[in-house]
Amino acid sequence: MDGLFLEITDIVIEALEVLLNHILYLRDVYPTQIFKKRRIYNTPVYISIYPPLNSYLYNVLKSARELLKNNELRCLEAKLYKEDSANYEVYRFMIANPIAFNKEKQDEFLIDFEEQIRASLYLMAERLKLLPKLPNDARFKVLLQTTQAAFVKFSQNPHHQNFPWICSNCVDRPTSKQEEISLLPLTSIKSLNISLMADIVR
């Protein structure tokens, strides 16, 4: 079972990597020249070839994998924001417990999973292209939501000392009454207990 669980964990992390790249490309957070077209899940997607961004995503997803492996990852948030930390858009990847996935009974060859990812990529492209262009000052960061105990244990792990995480006190910051929020449900992927939702904050 451990081997199967680790395999599913890697599949989930790979899907998150593709979806993060897809959002960054579609929303023009970085110049289009830093993305190269590749075929993944039997569909064309654009993946970053920019070393600083790739290094950041690698370390983020390495950390996410460690938390997911221990069933301690609750949510991964990709935030597009401006310098004073006000959010333009927030994309939430809600993670269910992948231990519940039984490869022998559920989509053994991941055909349904890949079809859902493929459909999600197309659906996101259609919906995100309707959004207004982001300002030129838009920045990007990732937050991982976990338990306090997991954060303490994780921050003391020597394998992650070269990419330290800090505890954010603004993840669930109350919204002011003057702030207008619209919710754009992008898609959901349920084959491996992943569901994706996006909050578009205006």
pLDDT tens, residue order, the chain (202 aa): 444 555 778 888 999 999 999 999 999 999 999 999 999 999 999 999 999 999 999 999 999 998 888 888 888 999 999 887 788 998 888 877 655 555 545 556 778 888 988 998 998 899 898 889 999 999 999 999 888 888 887 777 777 666 667 776 544 444 444 344 445 566 777 766 566 665 555 4
Whole-model pTM?
0.82
- Phi, psi (deg, nearest 5) at residue 156: -95, 0
Kindly report the number of other CB atoms within 10 A of residue 43's CB atom. 14
Single-letter amino acid code for the residue at 33: Q
Residue 162 · residue 180 · CB < 8 Å: no
Residue whose entry in the numeric block shows the structure tokens 């983020």? 60
Whole-number pLDDT of residue 30: 96
Token readout for 77 is: 């948030």
Whole-number pLDDT of residue 40: 94
Residue 191 · residue 77 · CB < 8 Å: no
Q: Whole-angstrom Cα distance, residue 41 to residue 56?
A: 23
C-alpha distances in Å from residue 196, one per residue of 116, 164, 177, 183 = 11, 26, 26, 13
Whole-number pLDDT of residue 24: 97
**Adjacency order of strands within the sheet including 75-81:** 139-145, 75-81, 87-95, 194-201, 181-184
Whole-number pLDDT of residue 142: 94
Give me the helices (H) in 107-158, please.
111-128, 148-155
| Through-space distance between the first and last CA atoms of the chain, rounded to whole angstroms | 44
Domains observed in the chain? 1-201 (3.30.900.10)
Nearest to 139 by CA among 61, 201, 84, 93: 84
Whole-number pLDDT of residue 179: 46
Whole-number pLDDT of residue 98: 54
Residue 67 · residue 146 · CB < 8 Å: yes
Whole-number pLDDT of residue 181: 45
